[in-house]
Structure 1
Amino acid sequence: MTATFDRRVKIAPSILSADFAALGPECRAIEDQGCDWVHVDVMDGHFVPNLTIGPAVCAALRPHIRTVMDVHLMIAPPEPLVDAFVDAGADMLTVHAEATDHLDRLVAQIRERGAKVGVALNPATPEEAVRYVLDKIDMVLVMSVNPGFGGQSFLASQVDKIARLRALIGDRPVHIQVDGGISPKTAGQVVAAGADVLVAGSAVFKGGSVDQPAVYGDNMRAIRAACEAQAGAA
């Protein structure tokens, strides 16, 4: 991950919606079509009701990702696997506040390994859960669906949380990422509230493929256009 911080809107396609039989080519395709980060959803079948990929797959994907490998750990407890995911090449490692009893210690553990640190909040978790680690982290991830599955509908209740979080962060160099139900219909409102990293799965990958990657580019441009339209209307 580059050292320069900025709040320009970044698109981070979730490969949860990609073709799992061609994840390497899929990562190259979305990067070629203009994505900013590659979002990797890790689920353990325990903290969330689904099971996806682990450190070995992340390590296999690392040579295919030129931008930012943004790894979202939906696992509990996360502490035993921090080293494995950092060793696999995660640039940003995001853990859930709800998945640990010692968030400050966990943040320090990730930081000591040299990765950027994100903290995720489930829809029912208030922004206050990150107040005391804001000076130690690089990103807060607001879940705008209940985690565990792709393709869910956006929870509008999270827009106000994003705005409150933006005020709480102040001038700290901390990104606000939003994950869940992001599309051209919802992207503008979360950016207006203060988000600057948008995770989108089906909204990016729908209709395209490794053989038809231009569709991915069209889908991402539609999301960016919605954000720009909202900014112009403000």
Structure 2
Amino acid sequence: MAKLAPSILSCDFSRLREQLLAAQAGGAEVIHVDVMDGHFVPNITFGVPIVKAVKKILPQATIDVHLMIETPRRYISEFAEAGADIISFHVEAERDFDATINLIKKHGKKAAVALCPGTPVEFVSEIISKLEMVLLLTVNPGFGGQTLLPGMDEKILKLRREIARRGLRTEIEIDGGVKEENIEYLASRGASIIVAGSLVFSDEEAIEEKVRRLSLKIKPY
């Protein structure tokens, strides 16, 4: 069963509490937080204080923190203590995967790695059995509201088949370019957690109703 993960990157931060509570009322169980440092990606977003705030607003939600930062292992402990439940780090930004995964698990959190669109899924073949999740970026990282890159659906399917072949239960999360017209298809290709930012927060439709409707579209997968 696929789950929708609203991304606070597209929230109106003057209404953060209101919008998060609306997403939760619509059935969102996972809240996605993109942490960008202006070095690994050409944008700066937010850090530990925002994660703490989100966890305080939604203490029962799964807080899914995506570290788009250089030397991510330096910050794992801070984000774990702030309330992150899942922590994703980029394989392109870290050399010692095992040490980073072990540190995440030491804090009792779920460990995940993230792959940029150009990084093949084979890059994680040696560590996938140690992970609770693999995050596939389906746009180039750094900014919301982009269009899904060609071929990303096949990348999702390839990873899903490999996970099934090895008898693993690893989640596949996708982030980027999710639209009303492709969300059901992406779930059918094997995405089990689907991040949606501008799709959820950037139009006039009530957030609660949109989350409920989109969740129902992907729930059968």
TM-score between the two structures when normalised by the length of structure 2: 0.93
Q: 2:101 aligns with which of 96, 107, 128?
A: 107
Corresponding residue for 1:87?
81
Distance apart, 1:36 and its partner CA: 2.1
* 1:73 lines up with 2:64 in the alignment: no
* 1:38 lines up with 2:34 in the alignment: no
- CA gap of 1:101–1:228, structure 2 versus 1, over 3 A, is closer
Mapping for residues 1-234 of structure 1, pairs under 5 Å: 8-65=1-58, 66-170=60-164, 171-208=167-204, 215-227=206-218
- What is the percentage of aligned positions where both structures have the same residue? 39
Higher relative contact order (CA 8 A, sep 6+): 2
For 1:14 and 1:228, the matched residues in 2 are separated by: 18
Distance apart, 1:221 and its partner CA: 3.8
Give 2:156's aligned amino acid.
I
* Equivalent residues of 2:163, 2:170 under 8 A apart: yes
SS of the residue corresponding to residue 162 of structure 1 reads helix
- CA gap of 1:217–1:28, structure 2 versus 1, over 3 A, is closer
Residue ranges of structure 1 left out of the alignment (5+ in a row): 1-7, 209-213
Give 2:112's aligned amino acid.
G
- CA gap of 1:220–1:121, structure 2 versus 1, over 3 A, is same
For 1:146 and 1:180, the matched residues in 2 are separated by: 8
* Equivalent residues of 1:25, 1:64 under 8 A apart: no
SS of the residue corresponding to residue 129 of structure 2 reads coil
* Equivalent residues of 2:27, 2:215 under 8 A apart: no
Residue ranges of structure 2 left out of the alignment (5+ in a row): none
* Equivalent residues of 1:184, 1:226 under 8 A apart: no
Measured on the aligned residues, the alpha-carbon RMSD in Å equals 1.6
Distance apart, 1:156 and its partner CA: 2.9
- CA gap of 1:228–1:60, structure 2 versus 1, over 3 A, is closer
Distance apart, 1:60 and its partner CA: 2.2
For 1:111 and 1:28, the matched residues in 2 are separated by: 29
For 2:88 and 2:106, the matched residues in 1 are separated by: 14
For 1:41 and 1:183, the matched residues in 2 are separated by: 18
* Equivalent residues of 2:24, 2:208 under 8 A apart: no
* Equivalent residues of 1:145, 1:152 under 8 A apart: yes
Corresponding residue for 1:3?
none
For 1:27 and 1:69, the matched residues in 2 are separated by: 12
